[in-house]
Structure 1
Amino acid sequence: MIDESSSTQRRGSFWRELPMLLIVAIVVAVVVRAFVLQTFYIPSESMEKTLLINDRVLVNKLIYNFRSPHRGEVIVFEAPANWRSGVADEDFIKRVIGTPGDHLVCCDDQQRIMINGYPLNERYIYTSDDGVSDLASEQPFDVVVPKGRYWMMGDHRSHSSDSRERYIRDGDLTGATIPESAIVGRAFVIFWPVGRATWLTVPNTFDKVPDPD
């Protein structure tokens, strides 16, 4: 026989607890977004064709609490004011090319960027539908990345506001690099649209780059 009073008590208890459950769920979601994972959408063509306009990526915001960024990783960072075209352009997404102390030279006789004397084979650089690839850089540069800072470049070099573009324009190495404190996290997967879902791995060419002297 069903105890109707007991059933009524359970329903009453559920409705009393529901607001608290909702509050806990909201707090967990806020904490996760603030400290662990966050989604970002791609607003420009600066990372084509690795990332296309309106792609959605998932960013690990916790990883750099335990280690520093590695060369070749795609990261989100808070852009310096002089990099931005407007207030909405606070967060940028680029690839780490140089880490603190790296000696970057562009380019060798095969139009490749050299890191500590090792030439990068950047197969991820933008190639148009008719097979024409961007240059590693349209202008030469020779820099040593300052301590605690990172040299960032977009994969679509001719359409990217990045360290190379800022350094060539202004000649200010500090202003052209990003401090570690400005880094939001590592983009590690494209999750939308579903047909483009893939992991954002580090290209093999970075495996053989030697440490700086």
Structure 2
Amino acid sequence: MEENKLYENIKSFAVAIVLALIIRTFIVQSFHIPSGSMEPTLQIGDFILVDKVTYHFRKPQRGDVVVFHFPLNQEVYYIKRIMAVPGDKIQVINGKVYINGKSLKYSPAGVYSYIENGVKYTGELFHEEVPVKKGVFKDHLILKTGTAGDNTSVFTVPPGEYFMMGDNRNNSYDSRFWGFVKRDKIVGIARIIFFSWDSNHFRPRLSRIGKIIH
């Protein structure tokens, strides 16, 4: 009897492990946000779930927040927002993004502060409207804390590749500095914050738990 019980426990454990691996590989995967490059959308200490299924049914779109393998080190994961898709021309001029020669729409949204590695950053928030497709726009917040990366040359996105930018525009190491991301290096689209830990105050951010990522 004891041997049968032990066998059943081992079998149940093995099935659970296999199911967990299948889910992680093909359906959903969790990630932790270690830096402020996506502030205010994602805060340091957020734990997120990434949907690995959606892109089997549609192509990545402008405005999607995605996790991908960093092109300069495939073992490292980055999270940014897709700002330009294959065939687009994109440029940043005086802090404003131009896609195919047209400036995105911006409107002020107040002041925002965050702390990273003991340093406090304060800047202005703006609503930015990204064209997803003809007549459809996605509104999200960006943060401006300086001028780094505010002016670039024109980038033409190659077939099968994408141009990524962080929402924290002056504190994001992104496609403006290292180039494009190939489609097969995109892991999936960030969907929800399932937990968030404020290390500066040693407490969870309860208001962020369950928050949908836009």
Instruction: Name the TM tier (shorter chain).
Output: 0.7 to 0.9
Q: Distance in 2 between matches of 1:185 and 1:96?
A: 12
Residue aligned with 1:20, SS = helix
Query: 1:195: which partner in 2?
Result: 207
The 1:139–1:123 alpha-carbon spacing in structure 2 relative to 1, beyond 3 Å, is same
**1:53-107 residue CA offsets vs partner (Å, 9 max, x unmatched):** 11001001122222211100100000012xx5xx9x7000000000000121322
Corresponding residue to 1:100 among 68, 83, 86: 86
Q: Distance in 2 between matches of 1:46 and 1:60?
A: 21
Q: Distance in 2 between matches of 1:139 and 1:124?
A: 20
Query: 2:71: which partner in 1?
Result: 80
Q: Distance in 1 between matches of 2:103 and 2:63?
A: 14
- The amino acid that maps onto 1:36 is I
Structure 1 contact 97–152 (Cα < 8 Å) conserved: yes
Query: 2:187: which partner in 1?
Result: 184
Shift of 1:138: 1.7
Shift of 1:186: 0.6
Query: 2:176: which partner in 1?
Result: 164
1:139-158 superposed matches below 5 A: 139-158=151-170
Task: Flag structure 1 segments of 5+ consecutive residues without an equivalent.
Answer: 1-8, 167-175, 202-213
Residue aligned with 2:173, SS = coil
Task: Flag structure 2 segments of 5+ consecutive residues without an equivalent.
Answer: 114-121, 125-142, 197-205
Shift of 1:158: 1.3
Query: 1:39: which partner in 2?
Result: 30
The 1:24–1:61 alpha-carbon spacing in structure 2 relative to 1, beyond 3 Å, is same
Residue aligned with 1:185, SS = strand
TM-score by length of 2: 0.72
Residue aligned with 1:159, SS = coil
Corresponding residue to 2:112 among 118, 128, 150: 128
Q: Which moved more, 1:118-127 or 1:49-58?
A: 118-127
Structure 1 contact 99–150 (Cα < 8 Å) conserved: yes
Bigger strand fraction = 2
Alignment coverage as a number of residue pairs: 176
The 1:142–1:181 alpha-carbon spacing in structure 2 relative to 1, beyond 3 Å, is same
Structure 2 contact 96–150 (Cα < 8 Å) conserved: no
Q: Choose 1 or 2 for highest CA Rg.
A: 1
Q: Percent identity?
A: 37
Q: Distance in 1 between matches of 2:88 and 2:182?
A: 14
Tell me how large the CA RMSD over aligned residues is: 2.8
Shift of 1:159: 1.2
1:118 matched to 2:130? The reply is no
Structure 1 contact 124–155 (Cα < 8 Å) conserved: no
1:15-54 superposed matches below 5 A: 15-54=6-45
